[in-house]
Amino acid sequence: MISIKPLLAVLVSLLVVPILVSSRTPNVREAWTFVAASAKFLIVVSMVPAVLRGEQLVYTVAQVIPGAPIAFRVDPLGMLFALVASSLWIVTTAYSIGYMRGLGEHGQTRYFCFFAIALSSTIGVAFSANLLTLYLFYEILSLATYPLVTHHQDAEARVSGRKYLVYILGTSIGLVLPAMLICYHLSGTLAFSDQGFLAGTGPPQLMTILLFMFVFGFAKAAILPFHGWLPAAMVAPTPVSALLHAVAVVKVGVFSIVRVLTGVFGIELLSWLNLGTIVCVIASCTILIASLIALSQDNLKRLLAFSTIGQLSYIILGVGLLSPKGITGGVLHIAMHAFGKITLFFCAGAIFVATGKRNISEMVGIGRRMPVTMTAFFIGALSITGLPPAGGFLSKWYLVLGTLQADQIAMLVVLLVSSLLNAAYFMPIVYRAFFCPAETAMFENRVQEAPAFCVVPLVLTALISIILLFYPEPFFSLARLAAQGVTGG
C-alpha cells in the first residue's frame, strides 16, 4: 500500500528546524519541539493498525540508483522501533527542558535542532526499505549527533567527539559502504525482503566476510571491539545520553544489524552457512565482557554505558539464535531495554541536576534525599536485569525460550550469567542508596528532588516499564509479527 505517512513521519521533525532556529524565546522553541514530537508520534501511531493487519506501507522518494531507490517501507520490526523512538522523544523533550534549564546550558537552540534532526534520521532508519536508504539515514544520524555529543565544547568533549567520529564514520565508510556495494554487485538490488536477497549469489567465504563487515561496520551497535565510542560519548548532556545513547543511536546500530541479518542475508542463508552461531558468539563475548567492565565503574553514566553495550548484544544474540522465539525476544528487547535504560539515564541526570554528583561512591544514602528518583532507578534496574515486575522480564524470558528452541545451551548460560552480573552492578547502588547506615549517609535527611520537568518523565518511563510486563501491546504483537515474517513460521 502506497502511503506518504512514512515520509511525513521522517520529515516532520526536520521541517520544524527552521522554526526552532528563528523562534524568539525558549518557550516558543520548546513548544514547537513538543508539537513536532507529538506530531511525529501521532503519525507513527496512525500507521500501527495497518501494520498489525499485516499490511506494508511503502513510499518511494527518489529513484537514485537502479534497484536501490530512496524509499520507505513500514513493517512490524521498523514500526516497533519507530514507536519506541518517537514516544520516548516526547518524554525526553520534557526532560531536556528541565535538565538544560536546570543547569543553564549554552547553545540550547542548537541542541534542540540537532535533536530534531537526529530523531528524523532515526525514524528514517526504522522505515527504510533498502540498504541504501538505511545507510543514508545512518550517516545523517552520525553527523547530527556530533554536535550533541560535543555539546560542552571543551577539551573533554573534543576528545570524545573525535573518538565518536573515528569509530562511527570510520566503520560506516570503511566497512558498511564497501559491503553494501558488494551486495549490490552480487544481487543488483538492495531492497530488504523477508527472505533476504543474498542467498545463492556468492561463495560462503564471501558471505562470512560480508557478515563481519556488516556486524562490525554498524559500530553504533557497540559490539566489542568497536564499543569505545559509547562510554566516551557520555560527556554529552544526560538527555542526549538517555535518548540517543540508550535508545536512538545505539538501537539504530542494532536495528541495522538485525535488518541486515534478516532482510539481506535471510534466516535461511544464515542457518545454512551456520553464520548465526558466529553472530551469537560475537554477541555473547560482548555481553560478558561489557558486564564485567560495568562492575568496576564508579561514574554512574559510564556504568550505564557499559550496561547498554551488554544489553544491545542481547538483541543481536536473540536474532543470531535464528529461532522464532529468540527473534521475538530480541526484537522485544529493543522496546523493553529502551524504557528501562532511559529511566536509569533520567535518574542519573536528575541526581546530577539536584546534587551535582556523578559518581556512585558519592551517592550513599541518596535514596532518602531523592526517594522518587531512586525508586524509579530501582524499577529501571529490575527491568534491565530481567526481573519481574518490570518489562525486561518478558523479553529475557523469550530470549531464554529462544535458546532452548535453538538448542544453544551455551547461550542460555551466557544469558543467566550476565543477568547475575547485571544484578551485581545495579543492586548495590540501590541498596546503598536506601539502606546505608545513617552515619555513612552523605546527604541530609531531607527530601529534595530535581525539577518537576526532570522527575515526571522518569516516573512516567518507570511506570511504563512496569506496565509493559502486564500489557506489552502493541510491542509484543509487532515483535511476534516481525519474527514470523522472517522465519516464515
Partner 1 sequence: MSSQYPGLLVIVPLLSALLISVAGWVNKRLCFPIAVVGLSVALYASIGLLLRVLAADPALDGGVVLYRLGGWDPPWGIAYYVDRLNALVLVVVSVSALLNLIATKNDVQESFSTKIGAFYTLYILLVTGLLGITVTGDAFNLYVLLEITALTGYGLIAMGESRAPLASLNYVYMGTIGACFYLLGIGYLYIITGSLNMVDIASILPGLYDSKVVLAAFVICMVGIWLKMGFFPLHAWLPNAYTYAPSAVSSLIAPLMTKVMIYVMIRLMLTVFTPEFTFSVLALKTSVVWLAVIAIVMGSILALGAPDVKKMLTYIIVAEVGYMVGGAWLGNRAGMTGSILHIANDALMTLCVFLAVGNVVYRMKGYGFDDLRGIFVKMPFTMIGFVAGAFSIIGVPPTCGFFSKWYLISGGIEAGHYGFVAALVFSSLISAVLFFKLIEVGYYGSGDAHHHHGTAPVSMAEAPISMVVPLLIVAGGLIAVGLYTGDIVTHIIDPVIAQTIMD
CB of 99 to partner 1, least distance (A): 13
Look up cell 531492497; give the residue.
191
Q: Do the beta carbons of residue 447 and residue 371 sit within 8 Å?
A: yes
Sheet strands (E) in 299-414: none
CB of 183 to partner 1, least distance (A): 10
Is residue 101 at the binding interface for partner 1, with CB under 8 A as the rule?
no
Residue 156 or 407: the one with the smaller Cβ distance to partner 1 is 156
Alpha helices in 23-154, H assignment, sequence order: 26-52, 76-103, 108-127, 131-149
Q: Do the beta carbons of residue 175 and residue 59 sit within 8 Å?
A: no
Kindly write out the interface string for residues 59-98 of this chain, putting x where it contacts partner 1 by CB under 8 A and - elsewhere. Answer: --xxxxxx--xx----------------------------
Is residue 178 at the binding interface for partner 1, with CB under 8 A as the rule?
yes
Cα–Cα distances (Å) from 142 to 76, 115, 146, 379, in that order, read 25, 12, 7, 31
Is residue 184 at the binding interface for partner 1, with CB under 8 A as the rule?
yes
Is residue 173 at the binding interface for partner 1, with CB under 8 A as the rule?
yes
Could you say which of 56, 163, 174, 195 contacts partner 1 (CB under 8 A)?
174
Q: Do the beta carbons of residue 286 and residue 297 sit within 8 Å?
A: no
CB of 318 to partner 1, least distance (A): 30
Give the range of 89-97, 177-185, 318-326, 445-453 binding partner 1 by CB under 8 A: 177-185
Is residue 387 at the binding interface for partner 1, with CB under 8 A as the rule?
no
Is residue 124 at the binding interface for partner 1, with CB under 8 A as the rule?
no
CB of 166 to partner 1, least distance (A): 9
CB of 23 to partner 1, least distance (A): 14
Residue 21 or 42: the one with the smaller Cβ distance to partner 1 is 21
Q: Do the beta carbons of residue 405 and residue 325 sit within 8 Å?
A: yes
Q: Give the count of beta carbons closer than 10 Å to the beta carbon of residue 284.
A: 24
Could you say which of 17, 43, 132, 303 contacts partner 1 (CB under 8 A)?
132
Is residue 103 at the binding interface for partner 1, with CB under 8 A as the rule?
yes
3-state secondary structure of 419: helix
Residue 192 or 443: the one with the smaller Cβ distance to partner 1 is 192
CB of 329 to partner 1, least distance (A): 33
CB of 132 to partner 1, least distance (A): 7
DSSP 3-state percent helix, strand, coil across the chain (nearest 5): 75, 5, 20
Kindly write out the interface string for residues 133-172 of this chain, putting x where it contacts partner 1 by CB under 8 A and - elsewhere. Answer: --xx--xx--x---x--x-xxx--xx--xx--x---xx--
Enclosing H/E stretch for 426? helix 409-435
Chain centroid, CA 407 distance in Å: 28
Residue 54 or 185: the one with the smaller Cβ distance to partner 1 is 185
d(CA 353, CA 100): 9
d(CA 270, CA 279): 10
Residue 67 or 371: the one with the smaller Cβ distance to partner 1 is 67
Give, as ranges, the residues between 3 and 62 that touch partner 1 (CB under 8 A).
Answer: 61-62
CB of 137 to partner 1, least distance (A): 9
- Sort 101 into a burial class: Cβ within 10 Å, 0-12 / 13-18 / 19+: middle
Is residue 286 at the binding interface for partner 1, with CB under 8 A as the rule?
no
- # of chain residues touching partner 1 (CB under 8 A): 39
Which grid cell sits at 469?
510486563
Is residue 177 at the binding interface for partner 1, with CB under 8 A as the rule?
yes
Backbone angles phi, psi at 436, to 5 degrees: -75, 155
CB of 104 to partner 1, least distance (A): 6
**3, 130, 1: which is closest to 67 by C-alpha?**
130
**DSSP structure string for 126-187:** HHBSBHHHHHHHHHHHHHHHHHHHTTT-SHHHHHHHHHHHHHHHHHIIIIIHHHHHHHHHHH
Look up cell 547502588; give the residue.
429
Which residues form the interface with partner 1 (CB under 8 A)? 61-66, 69-70, 103-107, 132, 135-136, 139-140, 143, 147, 150, 152-154, 157-158, 161-162, 165, 169-170, 173-174, 177-178, 181-182, 184-185
